[in-house]
Amino acid sequence: MRAFIVDRYKKKSALRLGEMPEPALRDDDVLVEIHAAGLNLLDSKVRDGEFKLILPYRPPFILGHDLAGIVIRIGPKVRHFKPGDEVYARPRDGRVGTFAQFIAINEADLALKPKNLTMEEAASIPLVGLTAWQVLVERADLRKGQKVLIHAGSGGVGTFAIQLAKHLGATVATTTSTANAELVRGLGADVVIDYKNEDFEKVLSGYDVVLNSLDGDTLQKSLKVLKPGGKLISISGPPDPDFAGEQGLNWVLKQVMRFLSFGIRRKAKARRINYSFLFMRASGEQLRQITSLIEAGIIRPVMDRAFPFEATNEALAYIETGRSKGKVVVRLK
- pLDDT, tens digit (0-9, with 9 covering 90-100), for 27-75: 999 999 999 999 999 999 999 999 888 888 999 999 999 999 999 999 9
Partner residues linked to 71 by β-bridges: 32
pLDDT at 5: 98
Cα(276)–Cα(246) distance, integer angstroms:
12
Say what the pLDDT of residue 107 is.
Answer: 98
Identify the pLDDT of residue 313.
98
Orientation angle between helical segments 251-260 and 262-270, nearest 10 degrees? 50
- pLDDT of 320 reads 94
CATH number belonging to domain 127-277: 3.40.50.720
149-170: per-residue pLDDT in tens? 999 999 999 999 999 999 999 9
pLDDT at residue 261, as a whole number? 94
- Separation in Å, CA 34 to CA 75, 102, 136, 314: 18, 6, 29, 19
Domain with CATH 3.90.180.10 in the chain: 2-125+301-331
Give the whole-angstrom CA distance, residue 305 versus residue 139.
31
* Beta pairing class for 86-89 and 171-176: unpaired
CA 40 to chain centre: 7
pTM: 0.97
| Topology of the domain covering 2-125+301-331 | Quinone Oxidoreductase; Chain A, domain 1 (3.90.180)
Residues in the chain with pLDDT values less than 70? none
pLDDT of residue 31: 98
Instruction: Return the H-helix or E-strand segment holding 2.
Output: strand 2-6
**What integer pLDDT is reported at residue 326 of this predicted model?**
95
The pLDDT of residue 29:
98
pLDDT at 318: 96
Question: Where in the chain do CATH 3.40.50.720 domains reside?
Answer: 127-277
